[in-house]
């Protein structure tokens, strides 16, 4: 049953050589006579031998493991899925494989998964850090594990990050809605303790302040995590005595939820573009970012670090784009 896999020793016996010679052949070392190499290769095929990278890595303790780890909140978020896909593509190009884990926004879970990854000697980690301090990564970092954050910065940790200007993008979007005559503008996001949502929320408040609009706590919903929660939040806001005439949804998942509850005449802007945005009625105005570019950039940065880049940590800010499709341009009660 649990047939044990053949080792170099088995191959060596089969081919009548030493394990060292097998090692050389398996690793493409040229210093082996063609005839010998052929015999070894035949034995490899006959036994179905495959090099054991666990043993190899132990022996080569100071070489790279060629494994990276990716930690996301939740892969079912299309943004994170795009990140995962792009990161894996780069890893593959660089000859590495990728471990994936989800934190589900739970810092303890994130910690556990990261510990399991570092115990396997990953060369580096790509993180979308959950809310909370990431000081716990210091020891891993000190021992040489490279870390890059994507989409979010990690409070308490001095590492590279690839993000967008969430603050500016939302401020611009809210100003855009204000310019279309809205003053009662709702905001739905996850907890501001997640860096990205903190920034987005700040951008929202800054835009209101610039416009001389007092922020109404009833129109700001934090800690919203799922589509149904977002839908409920929208329903709640619309039931207010003085309901919002415009709404900003903090990410794709929340936008989907909000859209199931939002009437067509509510002005609407979503953070993150999505496939059918243009097909809805009205077509949805979005703040678009490019998750593939973010993740590709983050992965390249990570591999540069892994291969010895020791320059000071930097934060790369990628552009966003406000795509006006209609829902964000619905005129409000104060339209000129």
By CB under 8 A, residue 198 contacts its own copies: no
Query: Closest separation between CB of residue 164 and its own copies, Å?
Result: 19
Residue 245: which of DNA, its own copies, none does it interact with, CB under 5 to 8 A by kind?
none
Q: Exactly one of 24, 134, 183, 221 binds DNA (CB under 7 A); which one?
A: 24
Distances (CA, A) of 285 to 37, 81, 238, 272: 63, 22, 20, 10
By CB under 8 A, residue 310 contacts its own copies: yes
Nearest Cα residue to 114 out of 144, 69, 156: 69
Q: What's the token pair of residue 299?
A: 């992965």
Nearest Cα residue to 188 out of 233, 227, 228: 233
Q: Exactly one of 12, 44, 84, 150 binds its own copies (CB under 8 A); which one?
A: 84
* CA 128 – CA 106 distance, rounded (Å): 12
Q: Exactly one of 61, 143, 281, 311 binds DNA (CB under 7 A); which one?
A: 61
Under a CB-based contact definition with an 8 Å cutoff, are residues 117 and 99 in contact?
Answer: yes
By CB under 7 A, residue 59 contacts DNA: yes
By CB under 7 A, residue 108 contacts DNA: no
Query: Closest separation between CB of residue 199 and DNA, Å?
Result: 40
Q: What's the token pair of residue 186?
A: 């709702």
| Residue 282 preceded by cis peptide, ω within 30 | yes
- Interacting stretch for its own copies, rule CB under 8 A, among 34-42, 114-122, 154-162, 199-207? 114-122
Residue keyed to tokens 């003053």: 183
For 274, half-sphere exposure in the C-beta direction (CA atoms, 13 angstrom radius) is 23
Residue 41: which of DNA, its own copies, none does it interact with, CB under 5 to 8 A by kind?
none
Residue 150: which of DNA, its own copies, none does it interact with, CB under 5 to 8 A by kind?
none
Query: Closest separation between CB of residue 53 and its own copies, Å?
Result: 4
- Interacting stretch for its own copies, rule CB under 8 A, among 136-144, 186-194, 206-214, 296-304? 136-144
Q: Exactly one of 31, 33, 214, 276 binds its own copies (CB under 8 A); which one?
A: 276
Residue 336: which of its own copies, DNA, none does it interact with, CB under 5 to 8 A by kind?
none
Distances (CA, A) of 162 to 63, 148, 289, 300: 27, 8, 12, 11
Our CB check for its own copies shows the closer of 109 and 193 to be 109
260 Cβ contact list (under 8 Å, min separation 6): 227, 231
* CA 142 – CA 164 distance, rounded (Å): 28
Our CB check for its own copies shows the closer of 84 and 161 to be 84
By CB under 7 A, residue 8 contacts DNA: yes
Collapsed DSSP state (helix, strand, coil) of residue 292? helix
By CB under 7 A, residue 32 contacts DNA: yes
Q: Exactly one of 10, 13, 41, 51 binds its own copies (CB under 8 A); which one?
A: 51
* CA 146 – CA 150 distance, rounded (Å): 13
Spell out the long-range contacts of 133-137 with Cβ–Cβ below 8 A and sequence spacing 24 or more.
136/111
* CA 100 – CA 41 distance, rounded (Å): 34
By CB under 8 A, residue 42 contacts its own copies: no
| Residues near its own copies (CB under 8 A) | 1-5, 48, 50-55, 57-58, 62, 65, 67, 70, 74-76, 78, 81-82, 84-85, 88-89, 92, 97-102, 109, 113, 115-121, 139, 142-144, 227, 256, 259-260, 275-276, 278-281, 310
């Amino acid at each position: 049953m649990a047939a044990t896999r053949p080792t170099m020793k088995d191959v060596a016996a089969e081919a009548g050589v030493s394990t060292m010679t097998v090692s050389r052949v398996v690793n493409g070392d040229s210093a082996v006579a063609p005839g010998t190499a052929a015999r070894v290769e035949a034995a490899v095929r006959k036994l179905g031998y495959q090099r054991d990278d666990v043993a190899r890595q132990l022996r080569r303790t100071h070489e790279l493991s060629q494994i990276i780890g990716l930690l996301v909140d939740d892969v079912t978020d299309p943004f994170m899925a795009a990140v995962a896909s792009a990161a894996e593509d780069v890893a593959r190009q660089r000859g590495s494989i990728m471990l994936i884990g989800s934190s589900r926004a739970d810092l303890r879970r994130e910690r556990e998964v990261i510990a399991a990854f570092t115990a396997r000697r990953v060369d580096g980690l790509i993180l979308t850090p959950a809310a909370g301090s990431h000081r716990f990564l210091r020891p891993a970092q000190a021992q040489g594990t490279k870390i890059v954050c994507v989409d979010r910065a990690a409070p308490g940790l001095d590492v590279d990050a690839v993000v967008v200007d969430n603050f500016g993008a939302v401020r611009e979007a809210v100003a855009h809605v204000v310019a279309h005559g809205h003053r009662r503008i709702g905001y739905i996001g996850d907890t501001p303790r997640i860096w990205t949502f903190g920034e987005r929320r700040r951008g929202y408040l800054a835009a209101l302040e610039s416009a001389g609009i007092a922020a109404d706590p009833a129109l700001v919903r934090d800690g919203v995590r799922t589509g149904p929660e977002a839908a409920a939040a929208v329903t709640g806001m619309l039931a207010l005595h003085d309901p919002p005439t415009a709404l900003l949804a903090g990410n794709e998942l929340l936008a989907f939820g909000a859209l199931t509850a939002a009437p067509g005449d509510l002005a609407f802007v979503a953070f993150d573009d999505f496939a059918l945005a243009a097909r809805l009625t009205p077509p949805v105005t979005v703040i678009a970012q490019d998750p593939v570019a973010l993740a590709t950039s983050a992965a390249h940065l990570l591999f540069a670090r892994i291969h010895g880049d020791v320059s000071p940590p930097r934060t790369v800010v990628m552009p966003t784009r406000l795509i006006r499709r209609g829902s964000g341009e619905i005129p409000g009660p104060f339209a000129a």
